[in-house]
Amino acid sequence: MSITYRDAGVDIEAGDTLVERIKPHVRRTFRPGVLGDLGGFGGLFALPAGYREPVLVSGTDGVGTKLKIAFATGRHDTVGIDLVAMCVNDIVVSGAEPLYFLDYFASGKLEVSTAEAVIAGIATGCKEAGCALIGGETAELPGFYADGEYDLAGFAVGIVEKSKILDGKSIVPGDIVLGLPSSGLHSNGYSLARLALLERAKLSLNEIADELLRPTRIYVRALRAAIATDRIKGAAHITGGGLVENPPRILPPGLGMRLDERSWPEPEIFARIAKTGVERPEMRRTFNLGLGMLLVTDKSSVDTVTGALGEPCFVVGEITAQTGEPAVEFV
């Protein structure tokens, strides 16, 4: 008796159907520089003109256990935005303009409608970030993932003039730290959040699903507008490691950052997590606590930068001199 790939659990026809259904989503992200169309072995992109010493900046990431919330609720339309956000926010802090994005979607059995919802979200994120979705991979791996589950990974590439790279080297004591608000948890700390809220506090998933699935903010347009003022000395995306581990990544040796926790509004979701027994130091090094992006500028440039951002931000701290490795102090 003959057997087929479908007998082994791989449905090639479903994959072909998905490709046809995602084409409109992908094409709405196209921007100048995209060469060709879907279906090639590699995505082609021509570098924009006008750079004297162009430097490519790349970043890759996933969505983490936030996907567990999507699986449990059957809501898959926002995690693709998270995927793009986690990648493009990482590269824009170098001063880069995101150019293009690629994704990887893997499941045990390909559910076309689920995959389309995820990829439509990826396209929405790309459109918001101004980058093109030029390729990806959809893998069907029978027996590798539990039924109804999948994994996501993404890869973004941007470009920056070498002389305009933001590396934090010009940061000095007395500089001001500005904070851009987060939309909530973003895509970090979900293992702890699920333990605290669903297991320890016994909250209903339906009660907090909207908050837990709120997509990560994409800061590209606001941050690039601020960068265009030439007043930004450094920027930190607050991801895994929270407010403790991310800010020191942009600080030169001998400097620290002092953050005033009274200076920005903290979304209520963090208070709900803390009430289950998560102490403040653990909250600080796990979550963004309401600040998704930090910017450093000098005192005389605060008004210029905040005006360029075109959205709310807060003066949340300052740069300090200190001995030892760069670290964050909270007051």
CA distance 138 to 150: 10
Mean per-residue pLDDT, 12-32:
85
Mean per-residue pLDDT, 282-287:
96
Instruction: Find the CATH number of the domain harbouring 77.
Output: 3.30.1330.10
What does the pLDDT read at residue 21? 84
Cα dihedral 238, 241, 245, 251 in deg (nearest 10):
-30
Report pLDDT digits (tens) over 145-190: 999 999 999 999 999 999 999 999 999 999 999 999 999 999 999 9
Of 131, 164, 197, the last residue of a domain is 164
What does the pLDDT read at residue 128? 97
**3-class DSSP state for residue 135?**
strand
Report pLDDT digits (tens) over 34-58: 998 777 788 899 999 999 999 999 9
Mean per-residue pLDDT, 263-267:
95
Name the residue with tokens 């790309």.
126
Query: Is the overall model pTM greater than 0.85, yes or no?
Result: yes
Task: Give yes or no: residues 140 and 160 share one domain.
Answer: yes
What does the pLDDT read at residue 271? 96
Tally Cβ neighbours within 10 Å of residue 104: 16
Task: Give yes or no: residues 157 and 188 share one domain.
Answer: no
Of 164, 197, 225, the last residue of a domain is 164
For residue 170, tell me if it sits in a domain.
Answer: no
Task: Give yes or no: residues 285 and 325 share one domain.
Answer: yes
What does the pLDDT read at residue 123? 96
Q: What percent of the chain has pLDDT over 90?
A: 85
What does the pLDDT read at residue 323? 83
For residue 2, tell me if it sits in a domain.
Answer: no
Task: Give yes or no: residues 226 and 202 share one domain.
Answer: yes
The pLDDT of residue 239 is above 80: yes
Report pLDDT digits (tens) over 200-234: 999 999 999 999 999 999 999 999 999 999 999 99
Phi-psi category of residue 131: left, alpha or beta, with phi > 0 → left and psi -120 to 50 → alpha: beta
Task: Give yes or no: residues 121 and 210 share one domain.
Answer: no
For residue 169, tell me if it sits in a domain.
Answer: no
Q: Is the dihedral of CA 153, 155, 156, 162 positive or negative?
A: positive
Of 200, 235, 243, nearest in space to 219 by CA: 235
Task: Give yes or no: residues 148 and 194 share one domain.
Answer: no
Q: Which domain, by its residues, includes 141?
A: 12-164
For residue 5, tell me if it sits in a domain.
Answer: no
For residue 66, tell me if it sits in a domain.
Answer: yes
Of 164, 199, 234, the last residue of a domain is 164
Q: How many domains, the chain?
A: 2
Task: Give yes or no: residues 184 and 254 share one domain.
Answer: yes
Report pLDDT digits (tens) over 80-112: 999 999 999 999 999 999 999 999 999 999 999
Task: Give yes or no: residues 200 and 311 share one domain.
Answer: yes
**Residue 55, both tokens:** 């430097």
Task: Give yes or no: residues 119 and 182 share one domain.
Answer: no
For residue 171, tell me if it sits in a domain.
Answer: no
Report pLDDT digits (tens) over 285-299: 999 999 999 999 999
Are 298 and 176 contacting, i.e. CB atoms less than 8 angstroms apart?
yes
Task: Give yes or no: residues 181 and 160 share one domain.
Answer: no
Task: Give yes or no: residues 62 and 88 share one domain.
Answer: yes
For residue 6, tell me if it sits in a domain.
Answer: no
Are 237 and 288 contacting, i.e. CB atoms less than 8 angstroms apart?
no
What does the pLDDT read at residue 24? 84
Task: Give yes or no: residues 35 and 144 share one domain.
Answer: yes
What does the pLDDT read at residue 172? 96
